[in-house]
Amino acid sequence: MAVNLYIPPESQIFPIEGVEIGTAEAGIRKANRRDLTVFRLAEGCSVAGVFTRNRFRAAPVQVCEKHLAGGHDIRALVVNTGNANAGTGESGLRAAHDTCAALGNVLGLAPTQVLPFSTGVILEPLPVDRLTAGLPAAVADASPSNWFAAAHSIMTTDTQPKIVSKRVALGKHTVTITGISKGAGMIKPNMATMLGFLATDAGIAPGLLRDMAGAIADRSFNRITVDGDTSTNDSFVIMATGKAPVRIDAVSDPLYTPLYEALADAAKELAQKIVRDAEGATKFMTIQVEEAGSREEALKVAYAVAQSPLVKTAFFASDPNLGRILCAIGYAGIDDLDVSKVRLWLGDVQVASRGERHPGYQEADGQRVMKEAEIVVRIALGRGDETETVYTCDFSHEYVSINADYRS
């Protein structure tokens, strides 16, 4: 049961010229489902990626980083669900390379022009033979209008496909942005068990796109948490095909900022959809920390609150047990925090001031806000001017059920 997760109608999902997508049933883990996705990119496309900081980086993540760092002309992406190809050592790396070689073989590309992605169970060998056997069917299926099918085919424990698409006026021209994401558990910044693929027909210089990818991730996929578990496989890729008559080479270009903002908004929407569909989520919470001395300490506090099982279960119960939020602020790791300066709001209701219950606070007001499906928790620390925002969800019975049963 996702929380206010908007799925656009197919008519509102705009293809990106230069991107074709095909899906197929490869039987990676389960039969009778499309679990293999291939992106074909036109020549001259810029591609940039941001990947997990987990030290156990999955084999496909290592291969992606190598192929991107090598400055190869990336022309295809291949995504499998059902198996993460993580914790698989040398044989896992070989499997990821073999996947790239096989797709390169079908498409007439060098293996280094392919980026591989995997999501699913960790510590099990990737059935690379089944995967490569499915590639010709996926390639045969390729079409510019398959974004919706791809959003489905990359899902694991997701209950809903996650897709965003829009057209944006840039100067005299219009560019199109379309993207998909997946992820529902093992979600924590830097990054989630999430895959995100965002494409635009604008042209963007490769170096610039690389910088933009990092900055955009820090406003979207690196600001969500479901359970505090940073996955081994997280990957976010931006593709700029350059088929529209707009090309941006530098930050100084007047069209840079509107394009950056449009891409960042699309990424943020894709990231928030992951939280909205988080395993067992019944509430979508925005944790905004203000007046921090630095962005780092704002994030520390935001994540301490967003990841506290006690806070999350209280939200699940719609119980304004708000002392649990103060408690989490207190253990967030700011050693010289002056609690007498801390204020806390739940929606528009001020709950705490001077580090204690706000004089005007009535439990009925807190209760009213807690019953809503979308809740903003605002925390002012009284230490400086920095603000950071993190998105999360509540913690329900369903989360336990899903994660206790995931492999069965």
Helix ranges, 1-75 (H): 59-69
- The residue (of 262 and 326) whose beta carbon lies closer to a copy of itself is 326
Q: How far is the CB of 83 from a copy of itself (least distance, A)?
A: 10
- The residue (of 7 and 310) whose beta carbon lies closer to a copy of itself is 310
Q: Which pair of structure tokens corresponds to residue 138? A: 């996926």
What is the SS3 assignment for 266? helix
Q: How far is the CB of 244 from a copy of itself (least distance, A)?
A: 38
- The residue (of 104 and 320) whose beta carbon lies closer to a copy of itself is 320
- Order of strands, edge to edge, in the sheet holding 19-24? 19-24, 36-41, 76-83, 114-121
Residues tagged in the binding site annotation for substrate: 156, 182, 193, 279, 403, 408
Total residue count of the chain as it appears in this document: 408
Chain residues binding a copy of itself by CB under 8 A are: 53-57, 84, 86-92, 121-125, 185-186, 188, 227-232, 307-310, 313-314, 316-317, 319, 321-324, 326-331, 334-335, 337, 339-340, 352, 354-357, 395-397, 399-401, 403-408
- The residue (of 49 and 185) whose beta carbon lies closer to a copy of itself is 185
Question: Does 193 qualify as catalytic in the annotation?
Answer: yes
d(CA 109, CA 40): 11
Residues tagged in the binding site annotation: 156, 182, 193, 279, 403, 408
Amino acid at 339: V
Residue 99 near residue 116, CB atoms below 8 Å: yes
Q: How far is the CB of 43 from a copy of itself (least distance, A)?
A: 37
Q: What is the DSSP string of 163-229?
A: EEEEEEEETTEEEEEEEEEE-SSS--SS--S-EEEEEESSEE-HHHHHHHHHHHHTTTGGGEESSS-
Task: Check 81, 178, 193, 286 and give the catalytic one.
Answer: 193
Q: How far is the CB of 350 from a copy of itself (least distance, A)?
A: 13
Active-site residue set = 193
